Structure 1
């Protein structure tokens, strides 16, 4: 899941993931006041669902984010933004919200149940942005959550309302254009916005120049005061004078896209105005700039310059021209730099939609989408090939940043008749998603790919293994047993010794997690130790040994469990990987605690937490936090242990499943809590525990890994 930021750790009112504003905010005083009243939990407004509705480009997202930012102090459990424009198919809205909330749930419960359980008793605001193409899913989720979470409020943006009972709808109009006075400083909101963006483009309007102000007003009136249209027009002032801009707008011919539309265009007038403004901006682009704009529309959730070069180059677009053309589109506000992820770019929904229409009109849509799919197939293949190496952490970050594009690539592959290619892509992406926290989405894509009985091969075997590994982490042991059998059969058909060893992990881990430790040890210990590979199945080889160590430790054979974990840790360090190494550190620290070597147990638990956090493995970090709390309590530092127990609870809340429902882990946690509570007394314990519970994820990780 994309990494959720916490702008001010330790300040509960600033929990959330709201992005920084890219430009100054102009006007909307009345609308902001209306939203402030609606979003104030203690105010007179009774509606808990508020929808900002209006045409594309009118500024719905900007207004909603400004209001949400100003309301953060009223929501101590956070203001959380879910951007829905990257989603193309129904059924994924719940998952997107769960990812936003950083709920790495490993259970088989419905997603809405996981969200509702985590949110119950919390005061938080969820913002669903760009709902128009997923209205039914958004309405269903909002209705379910609002009925079950009393302190929750939901703010929605879209071109249509959700049509739910009690919904407070704010229709958003374009900015007013008519001047209020003859002073530029008192100009209308539309003219003020245009003037600010003109100054950014290097053409400031002189305050006393009434002629310039009149021309600016005429431009704004021509564009109906639609903010996006104004910003696109103002960006053109880097190349045109204000008078030239006004003349071009007045003389503008219909765009080719308009000519493709029927004569009975039923779009609302202001939507047609925006399309006209975007089309005019499109006409002013050089031919190659237009072509790049169209081809960039296949990306969802952003892209980097090198990726744009690989996907968009071809024909008249030479690879060496892409960077310069991309800079030109940025200068014209067609493409925007991503302020959250450096060296990445994005397009506004309406601008991307225009590019998609143009790409379709050019007859290139299928070919460019195929290049997009093939690029991300290569990316996923390379990620799996290098997962069990020192590039693992970098690949995890790459998977997080490219999540939306990887999802689009899977959807595109599943829509094609070549089931072999679809399962190959799903197998690789499913493996990466499983290890980077996207368990439910991995299950979704793998189930779809495997349902069509794809042909045998490496991709199918990896998909079967990944599907079984997802079932194990989610606690669906019955399903895990079934996938283990299917994966073992596929590995034998493929005549792959390393795939056969990998399949052993599925069976052995299933046995260990269902309490059959001695059976698990027999199965796992019998797996041959082949030379360790650098790829996905190499990671599975290490996980076979991890499962064996876990089974030994759970059976009470601590020294043997330690020996196997030490082997995994050594191999992990040689490979440069962290995922298995962090679990090995946890198991070794567990045996250190049993030995009574408390300093070693504390160091090992801290190291494990850091390793898990590096790969965004919340469940692994929570397991190690419980162990660290027990080790710290054993040293006599009861106050710190209480803090750690609170932090651990917060992380378990984020996973949606405390202690993975493991009786052994639950019992250990309860024993630690009782000891700390007895030593401190109930009041002191509760204060320390709640202080830890109030920490953000990031602050908690820093506190836990900091040396004392």
Structure 2
């Protein structure tokens, strides 16, 4: 069946359980037998197969049934039920990355993604729902056959139009709804929105409609909403006719496929035919979006020719009424097309000869969006840009793919620099590295886009702990900055080299490089962010060198600049440094307050690296205040966050690891090992959002 859901954030579902299952806003009709079978297969206590594939034609309701069953069984998986949506992916090799993103593993390593997932999931019990696998079967197979043997506590539910074909795969084939029962009930439920009430005299006609639609839920829903403008007899007669000739070309694409897939395509075709001309044109043009979109974006990308921008909001409302477009209540309201409806629209767009032009307009829109985000990153709009980047992640990826496959290498590099910068600061390190490596592969032309690209690539390497790679990018960044001749670019380049030296333990050299950077007015764009990060790296270098007063002075300077700009990314790191110097001074209350401020700042930007570091500092302050149990709980929360990051904790820094170990020993000494272990495990068991809320708002 089709699905109209409110998407939940990863990390906690209802009741505080880990996972990201969406909450449905539409009733679930029928399928009781199939639901019971799927539930039994997914239950670790009754199911014997760890890979279950729910297979059926498009529109038959695979996703909705999978989510319903997974939601009913989530209590059997203490480490979460996680929905991995794959329909927006169109580039090979990204399925593992999609799993990493879904699990909120802000991985900073350069290891294979399956290795990162396996390390995090070792000893855990969780269910992955890989949704819409049919167009990425080879990638899905590679991920599944790698993970399942390594993780005894993992089960995987796949939805696809065809099985993966792996040994041990339990395939449940989902048939259309039985006409006399569930199909009629679904039709009546969806038609009720238009005031229809099913009576005994209507039942034969409704059964005839459902029979003509082969009991396919999506086809039934598309037909049911038409009762607002057609009588039941008109609808039944309409569905009995062949497609109009101008739809034959599109229908022929499925002519050799399963008859029921042809039925669905016919139903979608009739829904399309009954739309007004501008509604059909908008439907086709909306197919260029990956994931969701808002009305203002649809106006910019889809308007033109006979379709004026001012008509688009009203036309969107009409398409929502006809179940062609789904509306999700967010701020702002967002829209999306179901996969099968999008496929039909994409075919129509191709038949109109507009596909290439619309994809370029989509690319250019999101290129401008990323460019604006970088231009305003070091301002009070930083948190809003982070949320926008995460919300539009699928569209940014699609736009980036379009740019990389085009002939304009300079344009692709500029877009990779902008999108990569935003992804790097919003936790999408692997995708930032992927797009930058592709854009830089054939040599970077001279110009401002080159310095942005190589700086961002080096900054990604630093957060991933790739110190050898960072050293290489530091040289390339310094060369590009020198070539550009912009003094602020020269300052920005210092961050890559200084950060690489600091993380390598060469603190005196790091101080020399970072302190030698010229002090210039802080800009409000991405260069300004780089300027502040130079000073943050210097503050940490002083701190780890034991020069606490200089560390505090630089951190206070960064805090003031951060407040002046309105940004949070660098400011939150500075708050953490100040909190550590508070501890050295013995001002415990200030240390706790500043560490909490740091956590709140990092939380705004979903910066798990910064949050993990601040949690270690907060735990030290809390144990110094005499609350050893809360400190142990905080260390457990911090350990969970470090796990989400991937790789070793404390950024592999010997100094940071030694400091964290000293905090643990102090807490154990205060409350004893048994009490420590109990409180630590309580913290470690908390989902990310719950743990962050506990740390920021108290206990």
TM-score, reference length from structure 1: 0.96
**In 1: Cα distance, 2:279 partner to 2:81 partner:** 38
Residue 17 in structure 1 maps to residue 20 in structure 2: yes
User: Residue 251 of structure 2 contacts residue 266 of structure 2 at CA under 8 Å; is this kept in 1?
Assistant: no
Shift of 1:261: 5.4
Closer, same or farther: CA 593–309 of 1 in aligned 2, 3 Å: same
Shift of 1:526: 1.1
Residue 103 in structure 1 maps to residue 109 in structure 2: no
Q: Secondary structure at the match of 1:518?
A: helix
What's the CA shift string for 1:401-443, capped at 9, x where partnerless?
0000000000000010110000000000000000000000000
The aligned runs of 1:594-673 (5 Å cut-off) are 594-657=584-647, 658-673=649-664
Q: Structure 1 residue aligned with 2:273, among 261, 264, 283? A: 283
Q: Structure 2 residue aligned with 1:6, among 3, 12, 18? A: 12
Deviates further, 548-557 or 260-269: 260-269
Q: Which residue of 2 aligns with 1:266?
A: 256
Shift of 1:664: 1.4
The aligned runs of 1:119-268 (5 Å cut-off) are 119-177=121-179, 179=180, 188-205=181-198, 209-254=199-244, 256-260=246-250, 262=252, 265-268=255-258
Q: Structure 1 residue aligned with 2:694, among 683, 703, 708? A: 703
Residue 28 in structure 1 maps to residue 21 in structure 2: no
**In 2: Cα distance, 1:171 partner to 1:695 partner:** 37
How many residue pairs get aligned? The number is 692
Shift of 1:525: 1.1
Q: Which residue of 1 aligns with 2:4?
A: none
User: Residue 11 of structure 2 contacts residue 687 of structure 2 at CA under 8 Å; is this kept in 1?
Assistant: no
Q: Which residue of 2 aligns with 1:524?
A: 514
Q: Which residue of 2 aligns with 1:385?
A: 375
Q: Secondary structure at the match of 2:54?
A: strand
**In 2: Cα distance, 1:149 partner to 1:707 partner:** 35
**In 2: Cα distance, 1:681 partner to 1:264 partner:** 69
Q: Secondary structure at the match of 2:60?
A: coil
The aligned runs of 1:56-135 (5 Å cut-off) are 56-135=58-137
Q: Which residue of 2 aligns with 1:37?
A: 40
What's the CA shift string for 1:378-419, capped at 9, x where partnerless?
000000000000000000000010000000000000010110
**In 2: Cα distance, 1:74 partner to 1:231 partner:** 33
Residue 305 in structure 1 maps to residue 307 in structure 2: no
Shift of 1:342: 5.2
- Return 5+ residue gaps in structure 2 as ranges: 1-6
**In 1: Cα distance, 2:660 partner to 2:254 partner:** 68
Q: Which residue of 1 aligns with 2:359?
A: 369
Q: Structure 2 residue aligned with 1:553, among 543, 553, 565? A: 543
Shift of 1:106: 0.9
Deviates further, 590-599 or 55-64: 590-599
Q: Which residue of 2 aligns with 1:421?
A: 411
Q: Secondary structure at the match of 2:521?
A: coil
Shift of 1:594: 1.3
**In 1: Cα distance, 2:48 partner to 2:61 partner:** 25
User: Residue 255 of structure 1 contacts residue 283 of structure 1 at CA under 8 Å; is this kept in 2?
Assistant: no
- Return 5+ residue gaps in structure 1 as ranges: 180-187
What's the CA shift string for 1:518-567, capped at 9, x where partnerless?
11111111111111111011100101111111111111111001101110
Q: Secondary structure at the match of 2:83?
A: strand
Q: Which residue of 2 aligns with 1:52?
A: 54
Shift of 1:341: 6.7
Q: Structure 2 residue aligned with 1:324, among 295, 314, 320? A: 314
Q: Secondary structure at the match of 2:166?
A: coil
Closer, same or farther: CA 236–252 of 1 in aligned 2, 3 Å: farther
Q: Which residue of 2 aligns with 1:430?
A: 420
Deviates further, 342-351 or 442-451: 342-351
**In 1: Cα distance, 2:254 partner to 2:685 partner:** 58
Q: Secondary structure at the match of 1:90?
A: coil
Shift of 1:9: 5.2
Q: Secondary structure at the match of 1:52?
A: strand
Q: Which residue of 1 aligns with 2:438?
A: 448
Shift of 1:262: 4.8
**In 1: Cα distance, 2:249 partner to 2:677 partner:** 69
Shift of 1:7: 2.5
Shift of 1:646: 1.2
Q: Secondary structure at the match of 2:110?
A: coil
**In 2: Cα distance, 1:261 partner to 1:706 partner:** 58
